[in-house]
Amino acid sequence: MTITVVLGHPYPRSFNHAIAKHVVEALQTAGHAVAFHDLYAEGFDPLLTGHELATDDVRTNALAEQHCRELQLADGIVVIHPNWWGMPPAIVKGWIDRVFRPGVAYQFAGDDDGSGVPAGLLRARAAVVLTTSNTPAEREQDIFGDPLETIWRNCVFGFCGVALVVRRNFGVIAGSSRQQREQWLAEAAATALRVLGQAR
């Protein structure tokens, strides 16, 4: 399978980077073709332009265009990022804004002005979302409503036709033991392998 792995975290020694490393290695060891993108490291520009919005044309940005092609071809997708304010970091938000475009990830019918229900265009049948947080799970659910859950499951991947979406949040990261973090890394890799394996 061809699998796109996207990481959004600015600090190379972050736990998010460790998750990405473990997931990519596990997928490659299992024989998958992995396209890995550290969005900060590759200098991804997250700003959708007015031109792109008006024309659905992303050819003004070579990297965004490459992401569009890869997203269309991917059999599976893995996204890794911290929970910042109940949302992904801006660089991941911009990856959605610029790459999940009409004609790439979804399409409205010809007579639809954009208020209807689109057809999902993604080839991928499964997506794995791995997030990290310093907010205890109960507080995240009770006070904040854990918006990342509906964002990835319904607003993004569901909208684009990806049927199987599995999210796993790791936390609390602050103050966690080395042993705990190693367990999380193993679990992250196992989750990606298991879920994407079901998408064959």
Footprint of a copy of itself (CB under 8 A): 10-12, 40, 46-50, 52-54, 84-91, 93-94, 96-97, 100, 113-115, 117, 134-136, 139, 143-145, 147, 150-151, 154-156, 158-159, 172, 174-175
Query: Which C-beta is closer to a copy of itself: that of 11 or that of 25?
Result: 11
CB-neighbour burial class of residue 50 (10 A; exposed 0-12, middle 13-18, buried 19+):
exposed
Got the DSSP string for 92-135? HHHHHHHHS-BTTTEE--TT--SSS-PEE----SEEEEEEEESS
Nearer to a copy of itself, 29 or 154 (CB): 154
Nearest to 61 by CA among 92, 97, 102, 98: 98
Min dist. Cβ of residue 27 to a copy of itself (A): 26
Q: Which is nearer to a copy of itself, 143 or 163 (CB)?
A: 143
| Nearer residue to a copy of itself within complex by CB, 62 or 174 | 174
